[in-house]
A and B are shown apart, each in its own frame.
Chain A
């Protein structure tokens, strides 16, 4: 029996209204909510540990600058090594052998700043009962703006495991060799190759602990990878990155500046940073960071793609970051960021968005199916 239309419509409208009134707006759920860690002793201790690490680096900076002023640093082609005498000659030559070729390619014989590489094996440090030495080897940087204006300091501080291995006469682990080669110069490489950054770029980099400018892969070979290595692996990444990979240019901007109201600093540095001082910047690349886990290659990929001249125009510009990039390269920084993100993670679809080809394909299939049904019906006979 046909349901009465009016009765059904009345019932439907009533049901809609009941659902909407009963369930909207959604109520505050009863379950416990996840909250950021409260300000416990642990958190304060972590902040103190961060601050002590910064203080150590500032003290190191002061000593180095004194040495530079008194002419006690043996520069060779504007690069100098101050290596802990606790290391053997073999380790000493390995470090020099790894860093020097990178330096040559970076500076191309015309370095804009000097760089002092300090390698330290003394990892024990206790400040008012707080142990600050780490297990892991750390690579720190102090940029020229906060030294004497023309010297960049790169500090390699061997962690407990590496220090013990070296003290026992062992060679560096392969992964440490790679890190020394690829990360020692860090932001100092950019200062040497392109000079002092523009004030806005410097401020942005300082907030990010120079992480986007800490990779030097551009001196080796172009980074541009034709295959997205982590395509589809977006779970757990920052929303801005996920949205940018999905093609939303606004989210690409959020990758650089964070979400509105969000603490945009990386988790590691929500402590007590100092402008121009990057503690272990190359070691902490959080998956939760807006620029993602591969942000060390952010600027390196730019240099590789646009070449040194165009990048230098961007690096030294006084204009705001986005305008400087547009003026230097002719491309919007959002577009570049999207391409860079997609090179690693591929293009993804978010929400319930459809590819036009999917719609077209579905409609074509539907048409073919109905056409076949019509065709078959020609052969039907009443039985």
Chain B
């Protein structure tokens, strides 16, 4: 049964995952393009670090994008078919959900592996200035955990009805509008800042996205 589900998942989101795989492979390689200096000094390291920091913002964004793509695509066709297919299967519904989730995860292994491969290749061929070192394995692991988390979030949202997604959207939009109105009325109360801070620092759920994502670092 898992193979069947995996096959349908592949049919629905295969192209998107393939594109994400190519980007994931190219990203670390692109990020080290300025690390080709012969006999680099510590001054070169000081120049390289901010460049790596700039690239480091792209990794969590890519993880989110892949999670969003795979999470929503996992349910698109079920929603379109009014879930008749799923309900006719001789499976408990929670079992069906787990199969869908497992199939999605299996597909995500491909871009994660591509990022790891790209990171290892880039690290081995770049010239690393003294004082710096490479973190391809740690980067791939962080990326893997972030992709899984992003996928779970969007998978869970998409698994619900359009009304569920609407509620979530309304909460986020409501917070944004509240902050905007507070700002316009001259109040310095910050609603969004503390919420955002809590979300991206431990034990917030999105801490994984906010840490350091450096392929080359101290």
Contact = CB atoms under 8 A, between A and B. Distances in A.
Interface of A: 1-3, 5, 8, 11-12, 15-16, 19-20, 23-29, 33-36, 238-240, 242-243, 246, 251, 259-262, 349-355, 357-359, 361-363, 365-367, 369-370, 372-378, 380-383
Contacts of A246: 218
A33 B44 contact: yes
B123 to A, nearest CB: 11
A320 to B, nearest CB: 24
Contacts of A369: 152-153, 155-156
Contacts of B207: 358, 361-362
A19 B138 contact: no
Contacts of B190: none
B101 A373 contact: yes
B135 to A, nearest CB: 3
B218 A357 contact: no
A3 B156 CA distance: 26
Contact of B34 (A29, A261, A372, A382): A29
B160 interface: yes
B93 A380 contact: yes
A8 B110 CA distance: 12
Nearest to A19: B26
Contacts of A28: 36-38
B196 interface: no
A260 B130 contact: yes
Given A351-B133, A362-B148, A376-B164, 14 more contacts: A27-B36, A28-B38, A29-B33, A34-B41, A34-B47, A35-B41, A251-B218, A351-B135, A351-B139, A352-B142, A354-B138, A362-B146, A363-B145, A374-B97
Contact of B97 (A5, A358, A377): A377
Interface of B: 10-11, 14-15, 18, 21-22, 25-26, 29-30, 32-38, 41-47, 59, 82-84, 87, 93-94, 96-98, 101, 114, 117-118, 121-122, 125-127, 130-135, 138-139, 141-143, 145-146, 148-149, 151-153, 155-156, 159-160, 164, 202-203, 205, 207-208, 211-215, 217-218
Given A29-B34, A34-B46, A262-B130, A24 B135 contact: no
B61 to A, nearest CB: 15
Contact of B212 (A1, A352, A361): A352
A370 B201 CA distance: 22
B155 A358 contact: no
Contacts, number: 200
9 contacts: A26-B125, A239-B42, A351-B139, A352-B212, A357-B202, A358-B207, A358-B211, A376-B164, A382-B84
B74 to A, nearest CB: 10
Contacts of A375: 94
Contacts of A12: 18, 21-22
Given A2-B14, A28-B36, A358-B208, A376 B133 contact: no
A172 to B, nearest CB: 39
A382 B161 CA distance: 12
A351 B43 contact: no
Contacts of B138: 351-354
Contact of A26 (B33, B43, B164): B33
B214 to A, nearest CB: 5
A19 B29 contact: yes
